[in-house]
């Protein structure tokens, strides 16, 4: 057989392959709109990199037979699944760490801010290329600011939200643009169906106590962050506290509060601790459990979200008080002080410290010290008491020292 027909056949095959390759890279507007995510995935569309070309976020039609896609968890905002590039292959949106720098996280959507952060990774990484793709600039990163965010409100029939902005994939991948216009004039974008009316969330539940408040008005402070995947504002919350870990009994504290909060607002509640039995207070030496539920402006409510359990102190802190006599001493006059602190819960006084700035002595640990002031004016006295449970409180009072006036009998003139 002549070699000439064989060469001609090879040229034809290569030419057809090249035409197909260029057609795939350019992507007509019709093809871009036809590619959809798999039923289990809620991210679709195309992103563009000047270095590696098109990145497809899904494939059930128009792009081959392999069913792949990227998904966002409606509860946590975490991405999962794979995107595809003809030039670098699969891109994993939930790669295992450790990650090159903060945030130490896979790709994640913050429902409060609608910003995307974290790391994706090309599976073809190797040699001098680590394959990492960062979705937003970190606080310690140098260079220009960048990031990807979800744009609300929803668009079009059925409701989709598009992503916009840039991710960075080092010198190999370069900038990845999530929304723009292609060279043929057609628009492209990455979008998500995670846009329909979803229930709100309560996140970052925390309970805190300020030890010094146990000396005055003991209370525990509760906080949580309202987050709505759709960006809806908050209209209400329900807050419950119980001493029953199974929640089989009615809640000891049950508050439903109407509010008008923006998405992403931190909610706060405080409950005092008291020896008096009341529906609105906590008891001493008790372990409690708490939970919250939130509502968005469309009336959709979250599930109950449970916060960390906590235990109140064993008994009240010392009630520190003292008296002195005389109540209005003169300059140079001895003043007798007396510690009248009340100790609770069967505890005893472990230590006390008097502080008498300007007095003599300047400090004392006695229960009934005697002090002399040689300077007139207001004098501050501080008493700090610690009980045998190591609960410490203090109080400060002021006394006024006046001038000591001597009285001399008038001398009568002799006649």
Measure the CA–CA gap between 247 and 243, rounded to whole angstroms: 8
> Cα angle at 271 between 267 and 276, to 5 degrees?
165
Q: Quick one: pLDDT at residue 156? A: 64
CA 95 to chain centroid, in Å, comes to 23
Give the chain's domains with CATH numbers: 24-192 (no CATH), 201-311 (2.60.40.10), 322-401 (2.60.40.10)
Specify whether the CB–CB gap between 77 and 87 falls below 8 A: no
Beta bridge partners of 364: 354
Q: Quick one: pLDDT at residue 385? A: 98
Specify whether the CB–CB gap between 145 and 154 falls below 8 A: no
User: Where is 324: in which H helix or E strand?
Assistant: strand 322-325
Which of 200, 219, 197, 198 has its CA nearest to residue 305? 200
Measure the CA–CA gap between 230 and 250, rounded to whole angstroms: 33
Convert the pLDDT of each residue in 345-372 to its tens digit.
999 999 999 999 999 999 999 999 999 9
Residue 92 has pLDDT above 90, yes or no: yes
Specify whether the CB–CB gap between 123 and 131 falls below 8 A: yes
Specify whether the CB–CB gap between 147 and 116 falls below 8 A: yes
Residue 14 has pLDDT above 80, yes or no: no
Convert the pLDDT of each residue in 309-347 to its tens digit.
999 999 999 999 999 999 999 999 999 999 999 999 999
Main-chain dihedrals φ then ψ at residue 108, nearest 5 degrees: -145, 140
219-227 and 349-355 beta bridge pairing: unpaired
Convert the pLDDT of each residue in 365-396 to its tens digit.
999 999 999 999 999 999 999 999 999 999 99
Lowest mean pLDDT of 171-180, 357-366, 399-408, name the range.
Answer: 399-408
Convert the pLDDT of each residue in 279-289 to its tens digit.
789 999 999 99
| Mean pLDDT of the residues in the chain | 86
Tokens of 269: 């509640």
User: Where is 239: in which H helix or E strand?
Assistant: strand 234-242
Measure the CA–CA gap between 27 and 30, rounded to whole angstroms: 8
Convert the pLDDT of each residue in 67-77 to its tens digit.
789 999 988 89
Residue 122 has pLDDT above 70, yes or no: yes
> Cα angle at 291 between 286 and 293, to 5 degrees?
160
- Greater model confidence, 165 or 229: 165
User: Where is 118: in which H helix or E strand?
Assistant: none
């Amino acid at each position: 057989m002549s070699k000439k027909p064989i060469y001609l056949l090879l040229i034809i095959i290569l030419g057809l392959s090249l035409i197909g390759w260029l057609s795939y890279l350019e992507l007509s507007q019709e093809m871009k709109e036809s590619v959809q995510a798999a039923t289990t995935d809620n991210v679709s569309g195309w992103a563009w990199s000047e270095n590696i070309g098109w990145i497809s976020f899904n494939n059930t039609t128009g792009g081959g037979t392999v069913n792949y896609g990227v998904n966002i968890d409606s509860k946590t905002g975490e991405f999962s699944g794979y995107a595809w590039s003809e030039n670098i292959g699969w891109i994993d949106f939930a790669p295992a760490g450790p990650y090159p720098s903060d945030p130490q996280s896979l790709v994640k959507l913050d429902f409060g801010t609608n910003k995307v952060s974290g790391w994706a990774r090309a599976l073809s990484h190797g040699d001098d290329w680590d394959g990492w793709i960062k979705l937003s600039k970190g606080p310690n990163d140098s260079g220009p600011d960048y990031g990807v965010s979800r744009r609300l409100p929803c668009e079009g029939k059925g409701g989709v939200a598009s992503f916009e902005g840039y991710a960075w994939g080092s010198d190999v991948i370069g900038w990845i643009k999530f929304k723009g216009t292609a060279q043929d004039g057609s628009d492209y974008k990455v979008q998500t169906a995670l846009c329909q009316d979803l229930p709100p969330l309560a996140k970052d539940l925390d309970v805190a106590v300020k030890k010094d408040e146990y000396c005055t008005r003991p209370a525990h402070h509760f906080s949580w962050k309202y987050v709505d995947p759709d960006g809806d504002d908050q209209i209400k919350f329900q807050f419950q506290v119980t001493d029953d870990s199974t929640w089989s009994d009615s809640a000891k504290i049950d508050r439903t509060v109407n509010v008008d909060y923006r998405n992403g607002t931190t909610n706060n509640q405080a409950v005092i601790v008291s020896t008096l039995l009341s529906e609105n207070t906590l008891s001493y030496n008790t372990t409690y459990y708490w939970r919250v539920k939130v509502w968005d402006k469309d009336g959709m409510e979250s599930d109950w979200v449970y916060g960390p359990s906590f235990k109140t102190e064993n008994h009240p802190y010392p009630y520190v008080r003292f008296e002195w006599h005389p109540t209005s001493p003169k300059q140079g006059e001895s003043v007798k002080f007396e510690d009248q602190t009340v100790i609770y819960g069967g505890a005893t006084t472990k230590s006390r410290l008097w502080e008498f700035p300007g007095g003599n002595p300047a400090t004392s640990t006695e229960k009934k010290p005697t002090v002399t002031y040689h300077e007139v004016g207001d004098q501050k006295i501080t008493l700090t008491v610690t009980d045998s449970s190591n609960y410490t409180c203090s109080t400060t009072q002021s006394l006024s020292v006046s001038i000591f006036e001597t009285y001399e009998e008038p001398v009568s003139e002799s006649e």
